[in-house]
Amino acid sequence: MKNSPLGELLLSTGHVTAEQLEVALHTQKARPGYLGEILVGLDFVTADEIAHAVATQHKLPYVDLCIAVPQKKALEALPKDIALDNGVLPLRIKRGVLTVVTHDPAAAELASMLRDLCGLEISFAISDKALIAQSIELYYFELENPIENRIATLVDEAANERDIDIEAFLDLLIQNAVKDRATDIHIRPQALSSHVFYRVDGVLHHYFSFPSRIHRNVISRVKVLSEMDITRQRIPQDGGFAFNYLRTAYDIRVAIVPTSFGENMVLRILPKTEALHRLERLGFEAAQVAVLERCLRKQSGIILTVGPSGSGKTTTLYSTLRRTNILQRNVVTVEDPIEYQLSLVQQTNVNESAGYTFAESLQHLVRQDADIILIGEVRNQETALAVARSALSGHLILSTMTANDAQGAVARLMDFGIKSYMLSATLLAVLYQRLVRRLCDNCKRPVSLPRAQLSEYGLGAAEGAAETVTVYEAVGCEHCRRSGYRGRVAVAELLEIGEDIRELLDKGRIALETGELLRRQGAATIREDAGAKLLQGITSLEEIRRVFA
Ligand SMILES: [Zn+2]
Question: Do 510 and 380 have their domain in common?
Answer: yes
- Write out pLDDT tens, residues 229-274: 999 989 999 999 999 998 889 999 999 999 999 999 999 999 887 7
Whether residues 183 and 204 fall in one domain: yes
Q: Is residue 443 part of a domain?
A: no
Looking up residue 188, the CATH number of its domain turns out to be 3.30.450.90
Instruction: Tell me the average pLDDT across 324-348.
Output: 86
Whether residue 2 has pLDDT greater than 70: no
Beta bridge partners of 433: 492
What is the domain range of residue 133?
A: 46-143
Task: Please state, in angstroms and as integers, the Cα–Cα distance from residue 374 to each residue in 303, 350, 361, 391, 399, following that order.
Answer: 10, 12, 12, 12, 6
* DSSP for residue 16: S
CA torsion angle 440 441 447 452 (round to 10):
80
* ipTM exceeds 0.85: yes
Q: Given a cut of 80, is residue 512 above it in pLDDT? A: no
Answer whether residue 467 shows pLDDT above 90: no
**Final residue of a structural domain among 112, 143, 174:** 143
CA-to-CA distance for 421 and 505, rounded, in angstroms?
7
Does the pLDDT of residue 312 top 70, yes or no? yes
**Residue 453: pLDDT over 90:** no
**Domain limit, last residue, from 111, 143, 175:** 143
Q: Are strands 301-306 and 346-349 parallel, antiparallel or unpaired?
A: unpaired
Residue 238: φ, ψ to 5°: -120, 150
Distance from residue 385's CA to the centre of ligand 1 (Å): 48
pLDDT at 509: 61
Same domain, 208 and 172: yes
Residue 32 in domain:
no
Instruction: Tell which residue, 3, 46, 41, 34, has the closest CA to residue 21.
Output: 3
Cβ count within 10 A of residue 88? 23
pLDDT in tens, 348-400: 888 888 888 888 888 888 788 899 999 999 999 999 999 999 999 999 999 99
| Helix (H), strand (E) counts: the chain | 23, 18
User: Ligand 1 centroid to 378 CA: how many Å?
Assistant: 39
Mean pLDDT score of the chain: 91
Quote the ligand 1 centre to 543 CA distance (angstroms): 15
Whole-number Å distance between alpha carbons of 529 and 389: 33
Give distance in angstroms: CA of 270 to centre of ligand 1: 25
Ligand 1 centroid vs 475 CA: distance in angstroms? 7
**How many angstroms separate the alpha carbon of residue 481 from the centre of ligand 1?**
7
Residues 6+ apart with CB under 8 A from 158: 164, 210, 211, 213, 214
Whichever domain contains 511, its CATH number is 3.40.50.300
CA of 440 to the centre of ligand 1 (A): 4
> Do residue 99 and residue 169 come from a single domain?
no
Say how many Å lie between the CA of residue 506 and the centre of ligand 1: 51
Q: Are residues 354 and 497 in the same domain?
A: yes
Q: What is the mean pLDDT of residues 181-205?
A: 96
Distance of CA 314 from the midpoint of ligand 1 (Å) = 28
Residue with the larger pLDDT of the pair 176 and 108: 176
| Ligand 1 centre distance from Cα of residue 539 (Å) | 13
Asked if 500 and 428 sit in the same domain, the reply is yes
Using the mean position of ligand 1's atoms as its centre, give its distance from the Cα of residue 69 in Å: 10
pLDDT tens per residue, range 122-149? 999 999 998 999 999 999 989 988 999 9
Q: Say whether both 246 and 323 belong to one domain.
A: no
Confirm whether 510 is domain-assigned.
Answer: yes
Of 260, 270, 202, the closest CA to residue 233 belongs to: 260
pLDDT at 269: 96
Question: Could you report the per-residue pLDDT of 14-61, keeping only the tens digit for each?
Answer: 899 999 999 999 999 998 888 998 999 898 999 989 999 999 999 999
For 27, residues 6+ apart whose C-beta sits below 8 A from its C-beta are 38, 41, 42
Domain count within the chain: 3
Q: How far is the CA of 479 from the centre of ligand 1 (A)?
A: 5
For residue 474, report the distance from its CA to the centre of ligand 1, in Å.
8
pLDDT of residue 510: 62
Q: Is pLDDT of 99 > 60?
A: yes
Distance CA 488, CA 316 (A): 13
% of the chain beyond a pLDDT of 70: 98
Alpha helices in 245-285 (DSSP H): 279-282
**Which of 145 and 183 is assigned the larger pLDDT?**
183
Given 115, 143, 171, which residue is the final one in a domain?
143
> Measured on CA atoms in the order 530, 401, 312, 344, is the torsion positive or negative?
positive
Query: Rounded CA gap, 437 and 297, in Å?
Result: 32
**Ligand 1 midpoint to CA 228 (Å):** 40
Distance from the alpha carbon of residue 538 to the mean position of ligand 1, in angstroms: 13
CA of 418 to the centre of ligand 1 (A): 48
Report CA(548)–ligand 1 centroid distance (Å): 23
- State the distance from the centre of ligand 1 to the C-alpha of 342, rounded, in angstroms: 34
Same domain, 82 and 163: no
Which of 150-154, 369-373, 499-503 is predicted with the least confidence, judged by mean pLDDT? 499-503
Q: Give domain status of residue 501, yes or no.
A: yes
Dihedral (CA of 75, 77, 81, 83) sign: negative
The reply to whether 494 falls in a domain is: yes
In a domain, 471, yes or no: no
Q: How far is the CA of 68 from the centre of ligand 1 (A)?
A: 10
By CB neighbour count within 10 A (0-12 exposed, 13-18 middle, 19+ buried), where does 365 fall? buried
Q: Alpha helices, DSSP H only, in 233-377?
A: 279-282, 286-296, 313-321, 358-365
Decide if 125 contacts 62 (C-beta within 8 A).
Answer: yes
% of the chain residues with pLDDT over 90: 70
Task: Verify that 403 and 309 share a domain, yes or no.
Answer: yes
Mean pLDDT of 193-204: 96
Q: Which of 139, 152, 151 is nearest to 91 (CA)?
A: 139
Alpha carbon distance 192, 350 (integer Å): 45
| Residue 189, pLDDT score | 97
461 CA distance to ligand 1 centroid (A)?
28
Instruction: Compute, in angstroms, the gap from residue 129 CA to the centroid of ligand 1.
Output: 25
Tell me, in angstroms, the distance from the centre of ligand 1 to residue 181's CA. 15
- Indicate if 250 and 311 belong to the same structural domain: no
For ligand 1, the distance from its centroid to the CA atom of residue 488, given in whole angstroms, is 14
User: Is residue 444 a part of any domain in this protein?
Assistant: no
Q: 3-class DSSP state for residue 492? A: strand
Write phi, then psi, for 271 (nearest 5 degrees).
Answer: -65, 140
Ligand 1 center to 149 CA (angstroms): 20
Taking the centre of ligand 1 as the mean of its atom positions, its distance from the CA of residue 152, in whole angstroms, is 22
d(CA 434, CA 404): 10
DSSP bridge partners of 93: 98
Cα separation of the two ends of the chain: 57
Confidence of residue 462 (pLDDT cuts 50, 70, 90): low
Q: 526 C-alpha to center of ligand 1: Å?
A: 26
CA 483 to ligand 1 centroid distance, Å: 7
Distance from the alpha carbon of residue 141 to the mean position of ligand 1, in angstroms:
21
- The CB density around residue 511, as the number of other CB atoms within 10 Å, is 9
Cα 377 to middle of ligand 1, angstroms:
36
- 422 and 307 assigned to the same domain: yes
CATH number reported for the structural domain that contains residue 70 in this entry: 3.30.300.160
DSSP-based helix, strand, coil % in the chain, nearest 5:
40, 25, 35
CA distance 108 to 86: 11
What is the distance in A from the centroid of ligand 1 to the CA of 26? 45
Q: What is the pLDDT of residues 514-546, one digit of tens each?
A: 888 888 888 999 999 999 999 999 999 999 999
User: DSSP string spanning 417-462?
Assistant: T--HHHHHHHEEEEEEEEEEEEEPTTT-EEEEEEHHHHHHTT----
Answer positive or negative: Cα dihedral of 219, 222, 226, 229. positive
Residues 396 and 400: their CA atoms lie apart, in Å, by: 14
CA 268 to centroid of ligand 1, rounded, Å? 25
CA of 528 to the centre of ligand 1 (A): 26
* Residues 326, 424 share a domain: yes
For 53, the enclosing helix (H) or strand (E) is helix 47-57
445 Cα: distance to centroid of ligand 1 (angstroms): 10
Using the mean position of ligand 1's atoms as its centre, give its distance from the Cα of residue 132 in Å: 21
pLDDT of residue 1: 45
| Position 1 in a domain | no
- Whether residue 191 is predicted with pLDDT greater than 80 in this model: the reply is yes
**Cα of 295 from ligand 1 centre, angstroms:** 39
Ligand 1 center to 151 CA (angstroms): 23
